[in-house]
Amino acid sequence: MKLIKLTPIAIVASMMMSNAIATEAVLNDVVVTASPMTTPTTIELDPKVPRQPLPAHDGADFLKSVPGFSIMRKAGTDGEPNFRGMGGSRVNILADDQNIFGGCGQRMDAPTAYIFPEVYDKVTVVKGPQTVLYPGHGSAATVRFEKEQRTYDKPGYDVHASGLVGSFGRHDEVVDANLGNKDYFATFTGSNSKSDNYKDGNGNEVHSKYHRYSATSSVGVTPDNNKRFELSAGRSNGYAAYADRTMDGTKFLRENVAAKGQIKNISDLVEKVDFQVSRNTIFHTMSKAMRGTPSEYMDVTHDTNAVRITSDLNLRPTTKAKVGFDYSQSTHAGNMPMGGMPGGYTDLRDDSEFKNTAFFAEVTEELSKGKKVVAGYRADYWSILDKRTSSSSDTAGQTRTELTHSGFARFENQLSSLQNTNSFIGIGRSERMPDYWELFSNRRDGDGAESGSANDNSALMSTKTEKTYQIDAGLIHKSSRFEAGASFFYNQIKDFILVDASSASYTSGMYYTPTSRNIDAQTHGAELTTSYALTNTVKFNSSLAYVKGKNKTDGLPLAQLAPLEGRLALAYDDKKYSYGALLRLVAPKDEVAVGQGNISGQDVGKSGGFGIFSLNAGYKPNKKTLIAAGVDNLFDKSYAEFISRAGASVAGYTQTTRVNEPGRTAWLKATIALD
């Protein structure tokens, strides 16, 4: 493998090209390769637009086009999103502002495994602890998958449909249909995605096939222009082979029901009230059925009921506020059939219950034209019950309660010295309650010698909350031909929850259960994006993501931080035909902490750098139709991301150090919009 060395200065220099004055607006990308920041700390993504490289049909892979995100590969789908080195619950994932907690104690199902981006209308990423409005408050980032609230003055409809075929037997079918009139509306979304095992650049097959489907529908009424009430239900299921472990995910069933309401223009003070009640149930099965031994399996369930009320207030002509309340209750259960061996059981038994009550408020004050301050505060009260038996937990029957505080303040300023440039600087404190995996799947720090059973050493009471103190700053520049975004961050993380499996003293039991330990950590970094229209049809895009960090307690590099990455893209678009080329360059990574990481995974070892070249093309016969095609990894390079799971030994497959990325992948996607 050829190593490509990147110097940050050279890349920044090439990105900060001089700005030319012109009249044409910068073209929208036909095929998105890097998503820029749209407003301070926020990136808005259109999930209906094709992306390169072709994402798997889940909510994580799709985030690859956002600089700063890395997706930990397990196989063909269900990767784990990591932003600026922060994995697991530090990236808060919301579908319609609901948390979907995966069920798997071995983390086969990140929340994004249950999300199918293309059936949503908008995806928003908020970087850092710069919002407090959402349940499951993310310390590193908040990612919201949202449906647009369509209303119809007269009978009408909007339909989005797409079909995709690709290498390795991949095919996707997606439909998002909406119809309504003045009084009623209904939506239906459906998705189906299937892929066979892919091959890496060496031609080795990876145990990675999957199939997923989802269906949701909603009906609602709009009694007048100010009121909207909606009932929705959804179901999705599928299976996925894994190349990083000894079992596969043979069931990923999510069922969801929700009731939502919105009342607008209530008074001069109350602009809007939104409320929703929701229930999400996860039923996940992992088994060896895809490897010929269906009798070896385990089931888990995770049921979450939630209530949320928010209100938009006009406090003064220059002061707006959003205040709200969240409540959720989640129960996790599982069985342990152990192939009929003594001690096994097939009935589902609860192991934990999380209850969370939160109040939050965010205030925006317009100081003067182009200057504003945004600040927020969130208090979460937690009550967590250990429902395990005393033979498997030494905190059985105990309840942990905790009050956590998070807040931020940000100043945004339209610069007078530099035209069309907005700057921002914010400070934030996020206090994160340890999640199910950190408290129940892992064990507490200690040598485990006190008892024969590893899981006896419960982490429930010992794992402290994680406090992130972070500065976020940046610039967004938009002129006719040149757009640029720069964001920088620096933090200190007190009691960072490290998942440690680095030595025998930090693992225990049959499954080498890792330890949840509190350490002090520090990270900093930046993401830069630029786009420059060379002519009215040719555009150059680039992006850079950089993060560095340390584990101050152990005197080690902080684990699971992605290496320096840059993307250079050139695109031609004459509104009918488009062509694009993408070069993604990733630096080698030498600073590692093998065996340490987060609930998603741990550092495997050092990694080499690589460059991946991809091509795409598009054809727009009319405004409503887009046919896009691409070849990802054109030169069929064999490579693995630094943030990846270690390859497991799967009978009939070549074992690799990490799970290798797909080799050359060709795809063709047709998208139609009808309205």
DSSP-derived pairing of the beta strands 443-444 and 513-533: parallel
Q: Minimum Å distance from CB 249 to Cu ion? A: 6
CB burial readout 4-24, b (16+ within 10 A) else e? eebeeeebbeebeeebeeeee
CB burial readout 357-384, b (16+ within 10 A) else e? bbebbbbbeeeeeeebbbbbbbbbebeb
Closest to Cu ion by CB, 110 vs 140, is 110
Closest to Cu ion by CB, 109 vs 274, is 109
Q: Minimum Å distance from CB 656 to Cu ion? A: 21
Q: Minimum Å distance from CB 252 to Cu ion? A: 9
Q: Minimum Å distance from CB 298 to Cu ion? A: 7
Phi, psi of 442 (to 5 degrees): -95, 170
Closest to Cu ion by CB, 109 vs 172, is 109
**DSSP per residue over 584-616, as a string?**
EEE--B----BTEEETTEEB---B--EEEEEEE
Q: Minimum Å distance from CB 337 to Cu ion? A: 14
Q: Minimum Å distance from CB 78 to Cu ion? A: 10
- Which residues fall within 8 angstroms of residue 454, CB to CB, at 6 or more apart? 443, 448, 508, 509, 513
Closest to Cu ion by CB, 298 vs 521, is 298
Q: From the CB of residue 609, how many other CB atoms can be counted at a distance below 10 Å?
A: 20
DSSP H or E stretch at residue 670: strand 665-674
Name the residue type at position 188: F
Closest to Cu ion by CB, 302 vs 620, is 302
Strand residue runs (E) in 13-151: 42-45, 69-72, 80-83, 91-95, 98-99, 122-127, 141-146
Closest to Cu ion by CB, 286 vs 460, is 286
Q: Minimum Å distance from CB 104 to Cu ion? A: 3
The whole-angstrom separation of Cα 500 and Cα 448 is 14
Please answer whether residues 400 and 438 qualify as being in contact, where contact means their C-beta atoms are separated by less than 8 angstroms: no
Please answer whether residues 58 and 77 qualify as being in contact, where contact means their C-beta atoms are separated by less than 8 angstroms: yes
Q: Minimum Å distance from CB 244 to Cu ion? A: 12
Q: Minimum Å distance from CB 279 to Cu ion? A: 22
Strand residue runs (E) in 147-292: 156-166, 170-180, 184-195, 210-221, 227-240, 248-264, 270-288
Binding site for Cu ion (CB under 5 A): 104, 106, 108, 286
- Kindly list the distances between the CA atom of residue 252 and the CA atoms of 249, 287, 292, in Å, as whole numbers in the listed order: 7, 12, 19
Please answer whether residues 206 and 242 qualify as being in contact, where contact means their C-beta atoms are separated by less than 8 angstroms: no
Closest to Cu ion by CB, 187 vs 600, is 600
Closest to Cu ion by CB, 55 vs 249, is 249
The encoded tokens of residue 155 equal 């009978």
Closest to Cu ion by CB, 302 vs 388, is 302
